[in-house]
Amino acid sequence: MGFIIAIVVALGEVGIDPQKIALVAGALSVGIGFGLQSIVSNFVSGLILLAERPIRVGDQIVVKGDEGFVRRISVRATEIETFDRASVIIPNSELITGVVKNWTHANTLGRLNIRVSVSYDCDAETVLETLKACVSEHPGVLKQPPPTVLLSEFGASALMFDIFCIVPNLGDRGKIKSEIQVAILRQFRAAGIDMTPAQDVRLIGGSAAAEGKPA
């Protein structure tokens, strides 16, 4: 403060109006205050993140549509790595004041959902048994709670089935889903279960076209 007063006095001695200096200094202080506001907010938010640990390095989170793994938490910002290997820098204040989905906050367990459609000509009981066998026999699916297979919907042209199961590591969800789907395809082909919905094709035309006469 004494240094600033000395500068104001010195400028006054060389003929610069102290009142104008005060106005400029006031404007600068306001501008600096607003500029530092977001920095201070992110700094305080970073301290809260490091103290309360609502997210940790390695967690899989979703913030404002960006999903990925937390790679670094600093006092100003947090870096996440998306599934396509892009780095996203998120100000810490958004992690404290916004909505954050943390898939692995309590543990790494994750739910896997697979939807399968089959023709109405197929036997629903056979489809249910086949799907249960495919998901239950996969070593990457937890036995407790047991997987669930449901006939969930009568679609416009197909029966819709849903598989729900729990995997021990959310990061392996894509790999496990692919392997179960391959097993389903193999078993359906062996059992003759048609996954192609039946479709009716109707030709709409005049009476001449319907009778096979030239128009």
Domain residues of the chain, as ranges?
A: 1-103, 110-191
Q: What is the pLDDT of residue 2?
A: 54
Dihedral sign for Cα atoms in the order 59, 60, 62, 63: positive
In order, the DSSP letters of 41-76 are HHHHHHHHHHHH-SS-TT-EEEETTEEEEEEEE-SS
In the chain, beta strands by DSSP E: 60-63, 66-73, 77-82, 87-91, 100-102, 110-118, 148-154, 159-167
Q: Options 3.90.1150.10, 3.40.50.720, 3.40.720.10, 3.30.70.100; which CATH number does 110-191 get?
A: 3.30.70.100
Please list the residues that pair with 61 across neighbouring strands: 68, 102
Q: Tell me the pLDDT of the chain (215 aa) as tens digits.
A: 555 565 556 556 655 565 655 665 555 565 555 556 777 787 788 888 888 889 999 899 999 888 999 999 988 899 999 988 899 999 999 998 889 999 888 888 989 999 999 999 999 999 999 999 999 999 999 999 999 999 999 998 899 999 999 999 888 989 999 999 999 999 999 999 998 765 666 667 655 444 455 54
Angle at 10 between CA 7 and CA 15, to 5 degrees: 125
Q: Would you tell me how many other CB atoms lie within 10 Å of the CB of residue 192? A: 8
Return the residue matching tokens 């600068």: 28
What residues pair up with 63 in beta bridges, in sequence order?
A: 66, 100
Q: What pLDDT does 36 receive?
A: 63
The pTM assigned to this predicted structure is: 0.62
In this prediction, residue 45 carries a pLDDT of 84
Fold of 1-103: SH3 type barrels. (2.30.30)
DSSP letter at 214 equals -
